[in-house]
Chain A
Amino acid sequence: MSVTRSFKATDLFKFNHINLDLWTETYAISFYLSYLSRWPDMCAVQETPQGRMMGYVIGKAEGSGTERHGHVTALSVAPEYRRLGVSRRFMAWLEKVSDENYRGLFVDLYVRCVNFAAIQMYEGMGYSVYRRVREYYSNLGLGHSVRDEEDGFDMRKPLPRDPMRRSVRSNGRDIVVSANEVP
């Protein structure tokens, strides 16, 4: 339960409790504004009845032909609002927008190979690893193997326009590409 609304530029003043988190990056202003100035319909916020931001999602639409898809660039929920289905609602919403507004075939996202909680969550929502991307992230110094910490999984979920599930594969974890091979 929450209020879902569009993400506004002025929300950058209010997202501290979400962004002061290990897995969440606070980017330059230009990052957020470039998304809002191109895909405002793929950026959303959920807030509490009291008007406090619970989390946000920032996405984009890219690719053409069979590669046309929605992409989740950032999704983050403040610790105090986790386990309330906030992410699930965001993802369902973004899948709907990717399908209806952009006629996408799938939705994809990147996640650190060591962010086990997130990987498990996305798997529960029907996402699967499509490939492993070498050195996609910077090191966090968490004490995992360097490789695991810097590599990311590209995870995907097919949308109704891909009924044959051509956009996913079962052995994705074994397929490794370098960071410059992905968009």
Chain B
Amino acid sequence: MDRQIRPIYEALDTNSNKSAILACNKVLKKQPNNLLVKALKALALVRSQKVEEALVLCDEVLAAKPADEATLAAMMHVLRGLGRHMDMVTMYDDAYKQQPANEELGTQTFFANVRIGNWKAAQQIATKMHKQFQDEHYLYWNVMSALLQAKDPNTPETLRPVLLKLAQRLVSQSPTPSYYNADRFHLHVTVLKELGLYDEAYELIESEAGKIICSQFLMCEELRREIWKLKGLTREAGERAEQQILEAKDRNWLEFLAVLDATFADLTVEGADVESAKGSSAERITQTRELFGKVVEQDGVKDRSGHLALLELEKRCRHHGLATDSTTLTSLLESYFQHFGGKACCFEDLKPYIELEGEDLATWTSVLEKQTAQATSVPDLWRFINAQKLLRYNLTEAQLTPEAETQRAVQCLNAYLEGLHLGKDLPSYELQPADDLAVLAAQIFVNIWKRTGDQTPLYNAAALLEYATTKSKMSYQIRLHLIRIYRLLGLPSLALEHYRGINVKQVQNDTLSHFLLSRASTFSLAATGDITYTNECMETSRIYVSNSEETSEFIVRAFGGEKYSQIPDFILFEECLDNSLQRDLIKMEHVRMRIAHEAINSELVDMELIELKFIFDRLEALVHHDNRDFSILANYQPRCGASFIDQTESLEKTPGFGWLWVFLKIYIKAFQLASDLDDTVEDKLLIGDRPKPSNDPETKLPLKERLTKRKQEEINELSSDEAAFYDYASALSEWLTPYHDYARPPPSVVLAEAAKLTEQKTGHTLKGLELPPDAATNGNGKKDEEPPAVVEPPASISKHFDDVLQRFKEVLDGKAVPFELLHVVTLAQEAYLLFAIETTRFKTASVIKQNKFGGLSQHIKDIRNKSTAVINEMSGALLNRAESEATQESRKAVIEACKPIIHESGLDHDFVLNVAKKITDARKQIYDGIGKGMAKLAKTYA
């Protein structure tokens, strides 16, 4: 036996799935009922994407209720690959019931429940295992499961305290005290904390053993701080922190905060007598000032904490009206700047303390203005950079005239070029110390554009950043700036080039891909067959697959290794990725690109319908997370205006949940109309687990109603063109719904067809499907009702194309950034495609004839002709524009625009000419591609 099985495992281990299947077949020929081999074959099939065949085998093995470990292990991988975690639970459950003395099986059953977050069952199994096998760690599994169940949003409110008390009772039964293991101790204290038993928690933490654990394990130390806070020990925490600072020379900022909180404790207590509290606080403020003063004296420039703590103290004094000397704040700021102005973090450190007005601001400004650009050392240079950032932060509206801003930008640029000398000996892969001056200059140019609408400053920003990136090849900051600007300028190929230069990997695909893929369908040339951006969506989305395949295994491992402190965070992490907003936004963009690239047939429509509905249900049922990293982009814009990221956001609207809702509704509705699948059919055809239903009453409404619900807060996230597109899509689907509903073949027919296809493909019948005897023969289910009368389409549908054309002409000749032009154009194309999706059914002559839809056909033809003409006109105009892009004149215009930044050497005329060439070539490419793509689509769907 072993001799036959080994080659199968070997083939699987080396990922040779084909030979694994062959080896399995060989054994199965002689032993057709060998469960292990069937399971292994299913695994090889899953891995080679042959899902249908795998399903058949998988179900056969499951039906036989396997109980040996080898088969179970193989099936675990099969079921995980198919996303059938529920079945995995059932399988292990059955096996464990057959062999209740098998500890390994019990453990696996527990883990199977952990993987799907079924804490209730997990807890019951742990209870049973503890009773039977007496090992203490099962007791703690039990405690952890009870705690997680208590925290689960689906657990009823009343049950939570019961579960927590159970957890507490269990811990107290442990023969060895929890402090023998840091993670058990952590769990114990957490349970007490959740129960609000702060005194008990405190006692545990402050015990001899507890103190040692907290000093050795950061996560326990964090819990200690929390318990102190919850117990209201602000004053005591302050005293303890003072000791830490003075005696242990601890410079953890949390200690300083503890001292500060204690200083103002009397004032922050609810219902305190403010006047008397002020009196006692004043005294304490003096003491605290002395303490921090001592720290400053001891540390000098070695550590920033004392200095920063003095600033925080003064800020809080001012907040409570306890500041005695109005010059203290500015002199502290000045001192801080003198000590740490040479460090890169100075601006961030001081930002919370410089929202100044009047005299304070004037004093502070004069301090900063003394800083000259002449830098003979890197710290000197940083002092200048920090001064510029700090000054800029407080600039007022009146100071932001284009002239003044241009002067500032040029000053920063000159200082940058000068500052490059300080880094001239650095290896090419190091960052230049002057980089931030280039970034500052670029942000100032962007600000001018934002305030005047004149695009020439954007070219200045782009060209100088291109120069900076040749000097600092590894600077992601410079590249991110370029990506933002190139997107505005409608240059996706250049944005992509810099995005790739950043080398985004792994989990960063979730947090950083928005820089490239937000509204990416605007830039897609999928209609011409160029699927660069489509592929980028696919590649980026892989991280979500690895998350759902891998992360739960580590939750299991954390249980196995008793690292309870990590489990809640692992679960949260998994959820954040699984229910990531960016994940669904990418999916939406992918769909929008896909319909331009592929033939709109039932395969595409059905698949996307199922996937989008899945996302829709999940979005309603589960908390979603926006993990997009916006803070990575530096912001040096004045506080009186918008931040750099907001300024450079396409159309000033960042797609968020509302945006996603709208587009999901549009496309689900459209695909529903086009598809023959209705809910009953879909249920039968879907494999894998469904999202858990939520308790929100709104989600209980029928899908139809949920799809037509319009919410203002969602519409607020749309650009005006997108909002118009939404109106159009709603009107279109509303008009066509009755005709689709009437003409759609009945479910039995659709299912029969699906069964036939499956059988052809796999040689097996579709599982769990019982067809009424007449279904297969009765092809066009005769209808009892009369067909709906054909009515005129609402005028708004046809008018939408007039409006779009009008908008197009405006943006083509106006001041709008090229992004907006592309946005208008691609949305027009999308409206056109949506029309094609929703009218394909009525292209078939027999459908029209059978349902007496002759009138409908004419209406559709009218709109189609009209929209095709509009699309062709836009395409022609865009192709014309493309011709005028990559010419000498257009390059000249860019160079002319860049006059303020052209220098004699380095960033010289030739360098800018190269940038101009890159820009104009890329612009030609995108206009040309989009224009041709539209023409092609107009031909296909005319």
Tell me the A residues contacting B by CB distance below 8 Å.
1-6, 8-10, 12-14, 16-17, 19-22, 26-30, 33-34, 36-38, 40-41, 44, 48-50, 52, 79-85, 97, 100-101, 140, 142-143
Known A38-B563, A41-B219, A85-B303; judge A33-B551 contact (CB<8 A): yes
Question: What are 11 inter-chain pairs, A to B, with CB distance below 8 A?
Answer: A1-B251, A3-B254, A6-B219, A10-B576, A16-B508, A17-B632, A21-B474, A26-B506, A37-B561, A41-B219, A100-B216
Least CB distance, B220 to chain A, in whole angstroms: 9
Known A34-B554, A101-B216; judge A9-B563 contact (CB<8 A): no
The complex places the Cα of A24 from the Cα of B914 at a distance, in Å, of 32
Least CB distance, A21 to chain B, in whole angstroms: 7
Please name all residues of chain B whose beta carbon is closer than 8 Å to the beta carbon of A12 when the two chains form the complex.
507, 573
In the complex, residue of chain A having the shortest beta-carbon distance to the beta carbon of B510: A13
Q: B570 near A9 (CB under 8 angstroms)?
A: yes
Q: A80 near B344 (CB under 8 angstroms)?
A: yes
Known A10-B576, A37-B563; judge A16-B511 contact (CB<8 A): yes
Q: B569 near A50 (CB under 8 angstroms)?
A: no
B308 at the interface (CB under 8 A from A): yes
The complex places the Cα of A80 from the Cα of B502 at a distance, in Å, of 18
Q: B566 near A36 (CB under 8 angstroms)?
A: yes
Q: A29 near B216 (CB under 8 angstroms)?
A: no
The complex places the Cα of A81 from the Cα of B304 at a distance, in Å, of 12
Q: B305 near A28 (CB under 8 angstroms)?
A: no
Please name all residues of chain A whose beta carbon is closer than 8 Å to the beta carbon of B9 when the two chains form the complex.
none
Please name all residues of chain B whose beta carbon is closer than 8 Å to the beta carbon of A85 when the two chains form the complex.
302-303
Q: B216 near A84 (CB under 8 angstroms)?
A: no
Known A26-B507, A33-B570, A36-B566; judge A48-B219 contact (CB<8 A): no
Q: B550 near A30 (CB under 8 angstroms)?
A: yes
Please name all residues of chain A whose beta carbon is closer than 8 Å to the beta carbon of B352 when the two chains form the complex.
49-50
**Segment of B30-38, B364-372, B424-432, B924-932 engaged in the interface with chain A:** B424-432
In the complex, residue of chain A having the shortest beta-carbon distance to the beta carbon of B580: A13
Please name all residues of chain A whose beta carbon is closer than 8 Å to the beta carbon of B730 when the two chains form the complex.
none
Known A52-B348, A79-B431; judge A37-B558 contact (CB<8 A): yes
In the complex, residue of chain B having the shortest beta-carbon distance to the beta carbon of A32: B507
In B484-525, which residues have CB < 8 Å from any A CB? 502-503, 505-508, 510-512
The complex places the Cα of A140 from the Cα of B428 at a distance, in Å, of 13
B742 at the interface (CB under 8 A from A): no
Please name all residues of chain A whose beta carbon is closer than 8 Å to the beta carbon of B550 when the two chains form the complex.
28-30, 33
Least CB distance, B686 to chain A, in whole angstroms: 27
Q: A20 near B502 (CB under 8 angstroms)?
A: yes
Q: B566 near A37 (CB under 8 angstroms)?
A: yes
Known A29-B507, A41-B182, A79-B431; judge A16-B512 contact (CB<8 A): yes
Q: B627 near A13 (CB under 8 angstroms)?
A: yes
Q: B308 near A50 (CB under 8 angstroms)?
A: no
Q: Known contacts A12-B507, A37-B557, A40-B219; can you find 5 more A-B pairs with CB under 8 A?
A: A13-B510, A36-B558, A41-B216, A52-B631, A85-B303
Complex A-B, nearest 8 residue pairs according to Cβ-Cβ distance, in ascending order: A1-B305, A9-B573, A33-B554, A20-B476, A6-B218, A80-B344, A26-B505, A9-B569
Q: B563 near A29 (CB under 8 angstroms)?
A: no
The complex places the Cα of A28 from the Cα of B506 at a distance, in Å, of 6
Least CB distance, A38 to chain B, in whole angstroms: 6
Q: A13 near B511 (CB under 8 angstroms)?
A: yes
In B248-297, which residues have CB < 8 Å from any A CB? 251-254
Known A3-B252, A9-B566, A101-B216; judge A19-B508 contact (CB<8 A): yes
Least CB distance, A127 to chain B, in whole angstroms: 21
The complex places the Cα of A37 from the Cα of B562 at a distance, in Å, of 9
B599 at the interface (CB under 8 A from A): no
Q: B511 near A22 (CB under 8 angstroms)?
A: no
Least CB distance, B846 to chain A, in whole angstroms: 52
Known A13-B507, A37-B566; judge A84-B343 contact (CB<8 A): yes
Please name all residues of chain A whose beta carbon is closer than 8 Å to the beta carbon of B551 when the two chains form the complex.
29, 33
The complex places the Cα of A82 from the Cα of B566 at a distance, in Å, of 29
The complex places the Cα of A134 from the Cα of B318 at a distance, in Å, of 60
Known A49-B308, A79-B431; judge A4-B252 contact (CB<8 A): yes
B893 at the interface (CB under 8 A from A): no
Q: B573 near A27 (CB under 8 angstroms)?
A: no
Q: Which of B222, B428, B554 contacts A37 (CB 8 A)?
A: B554
In the complex, residue of chain A having the shortest beta-carbon distance to the beta carbon of B509: A26
Please name all residues of chain B whose beta carbon is closer than 8 Å to the beta carbon of A80 when the two chains form the complex.
344-345, 348
Please name all residues of chain A whose beta carbon is closer than 8 Å to the beta carbon of B304 when the two chains form the complex.
1, 84
Please name all residues of chain A whose beta carbon is closer than 8 Å to the beta carbon of B345 when the two chains form the complex.
48, 80-81, 84
The complex places the Cα of A29 from the Cα of B506 at a distance, in Å, of 7
Least CB distance, A27 to chain B, in whole angstroms: 7
Please name all residues of chain B whose beta carbon is closer than 8 Å to the beta carbon of A52 when the two chains form the complex.
348, 631
Least CB distance, B224 to chain A, in whole angstroms: 12
B16 at the interface (CB under 8 A from A): no
Least CB distance, B886 to chain A, in whole angstroms: 32
Q: A10 near B573 (CB under 8 angstroms)?
A: yes
Please name all residues of chain B whose beta carbon is closer than 8 Å to the beta carbon of A143 when the two chains form the complex.
427-428
The complex places the Cα of A80 from the Cα of B344 at a distance, in Å, of 5
Q: B348 near A30 (CB under 8 angstroms)?
A: no
The complex places the Cα of A82 from the Cα of B631 at a distance, in Å, of 19
Please name all residues of chain B whose beta carbon is closer than 8 Å to the beta carbon of A82 when the two chains form the complex.
344
Known A19-B508, A52-B348, A81-B344; judge A5-B572 contact (CB<8 A): no
B565 at the interface (CB under 8 A from A): yes
Please name all residues of chain B whose beta carbon is closer than 8 Å to the beta carbon of A30 when the two chains form the complex.
546, 550, 553-554
Q: A40 near B216 (CB under 8 angstroms)?
A: no
Please name all residues of chain A whose beta carbon is closer than 8 Å to the beta carbon of B530 when the two chains form the complex.
none
In the complex, residue of chain B having the shortest beta-carbon distance to the beta carbon of A39: B563
In the complex, residue of chain B having the shortest beta-carbon distance to the beta carbon of A140: B429
Known A3-B252, A12-B573, A27-B506; judge A40-B348 contact (CB<8 A): no
The complex places the Cα of A27 from the Cα of B546 at a distance, in Å, of 12
B569-594 Cβ-contact flags toward A at 8 Å (1 or 0)? 11011001000000000000000000
Least CB distance, B583 to chain A, in whole angstroms: 13
Please name all residues of chain A whose beta carbon is closer than 8 Å to the beta carbon of B554 when the two chains form the complex.
30, 33-34, 36-37
Please name all residues of chain B whose beta carbon is closer than 8 Å to the beta carbon of A34 when the two chains form the complex.
554, 557
Please name all residues of chain B whose beta carbon is closer than 8 Å to the beta carbon of A6 when the two chains form the complex.
218-219, 222
Please name all residues of chain A whose beta carbon is closer than 8 Å to the beta carbon of B251 when the two chains form the complex.
1
Q: A97 near B508 (CB under 8 angstroms)?
A: no
Q: A142 near B563 (CB under 8 angstroms)?
A: no
In the complex, residue of chain B having the shortest beta-carbon distance to the beta carbon of A2: B253
Please name all residues of chain B whose beta carbon is closer than 8 Å to the beta carbon of A9 when the two chains form the complex.
566, 569-570, 572-573
Known A13-B511, A29-B550; judge A41-B218 contact (CB<8 A): yes
The complex places the Cα of A150 from the Cα of B595 at a distance, in Å, of 46
The complex places the Cα of A7 from the Cα of B213 at a distance, in Å, of 17
In the complex, residue of chain B having the shortest beta-carbon distance to the beta carbon of A48: B348
The complex places the Cα of A72 from the Cα of B809 at a distance, in Å, of 61
B90 at the interface (CB under 8 A from A): no
Known A40-B565, A41-B217; judge A5-B222 contact (CB<8 A): yes
Least CB distance, B376 to chain A, in whole angstroms: 18
The complex places the Cα of A6 from the Cα of B218 at a distance, in Å, of 6
B127 at the interface (CB under 8 A from A): no
The complex places the Cα of A28 from the Cα of B550 at a distance, in Å, of 10
Please name all residues of chain B whose beta carbon is closer than 8 Å to the beta carbon of A101 when the two chains form the complex.
216-217
Q: B561 near A38 (CB under 8 angstroms)?
A: yes
B646 at the interface (CB under 8 A from A): no
In the complex, residue of chain A having the shortest beta-carbon distance to the beta carbon of B347: A80
Least CB distance, A103 to chain B, in whole angstroms: 12
The complex places the Cα of A38 from the Cα of B315 at a distance, in Å, of 43
Please name all residues of chain B whose beta carbon is closer than 8 Å to the beta carbon of A97 when the two chains form the complex.
216
Least CB distance, A1 to chain B, in whole angstroms: 4
Please name all residues of chain B whose beta carbon is closer than 8 Å to the beta carbon of A1 when the two chains form the complex.
251, 253, 303-305, 308
Please name all residues of chain B whose beta carbon is closer than 8 Å to the beta carbon of A26 when the two chains form the complex.
505-508
The complex places the Cα of A97 from the Cα of B252 at a distance, in Å, of 17
Please name all residues of chain A whose beta carbon is closer than 8 Å to the beta carbon of B570 when the two chains form the complex.
9, 33, 36-37
Q: B219 near A29 (CB under 8 angstroms)?
A: no
B629 at the interface (CB under 8 A from A): yes
Least CB distance, A14 to chain B, in whole angstroms: 7
The complex places the Cα of A143 from the Cα of B566 at a distance, in Å, of 42
Q: Which of B305, B565, B572 contacts A10 (CB 8 A)?
A: B572
